Structures are given as structure tokens and as C-alpha cells.
Copies of this chain bind each other. A is one copy, B any other.
């Protein structure tokens, strides 16, 4: 069982070595200590999963800063539960909002696909219909 070196982690996570190191610098993943005997750092298996999570969260429009916050949410005895709870609820609001927006786009795309293949010119339907202007009810 070969030790988990940085290149193994990177490969498992589907990123480059430099990216792993970049996330270490940013505090998104822990840099394991160098073994006292000297030599290469050895990574726990979770690091790969953690990086995968980071990448997916990025695809969902979270910044590394936000992802760091997400990752710091965990129920363990050491952290103040009420605080974690509150931050989790804030994040939950964000993702719920994003899901709603995304569903708007999904619906618009489905409508577009449905409208398209019929014959030539049905309605002109734009993706922008996906957004229901929230505040644009002001004239001027």
C-alpha cells in the first residue's frame, strides 16, 4: 500500500499538483506535516474527497472563500453549535435560492427545446424569460 503522496491526491481529485498546493496555501485543505523522519508528506484519503467537493462547489458558483466557510461547518463538540447552525442556515438560504434560479433556467431550456423542433417559426423564446425581474416593477 503505497503512501498517499501529493500526486496521488491530485490524480484522485482530478486536479494538478499545483492546485493541491494552492488550496493548501489558501487553507482549504490541510497540509500534512512532513514526517519527522524527513521525506515526503503523506496525505489522508479524505483530502481527495475534499478537493472534489471544492471543485463541485465551484461549479455551483461558490468562491473559494465561500467554500472555505462551507467546509468549516461541521457539528462537532468543539465548535459552538448555535453558531454553526446559524451559518448553516445562511448557506442553506443561498443554495435554496440558487436551486430556484437554476430551475428557472432549466424550465426555460425545456420550453425552448419543446418549442424548437415543431416546424419553422414558433414563438421566439429567449432564455432570459428564466428570470422574473424581482425589482424591476419600478417604472421611471
Contacts and interface: CB of A to CB of B under 8 A. Distances in A.
A127 interface: yes
Contacts of A12: 136
A19 interface: no
A12 B88 CA distance: 31
Copies in the complex: 2
Given A81-B117, A99-B106, A102-B102, 7 more contacts: A2-B140, A52-B131, A53-B128, A56-B131, A71-B128, A73-B109, A81-B116
Interface string A65-105: 00000110111110001101100110110011011011101
Interface string A94-132: 011011011101100110110111001111111110110
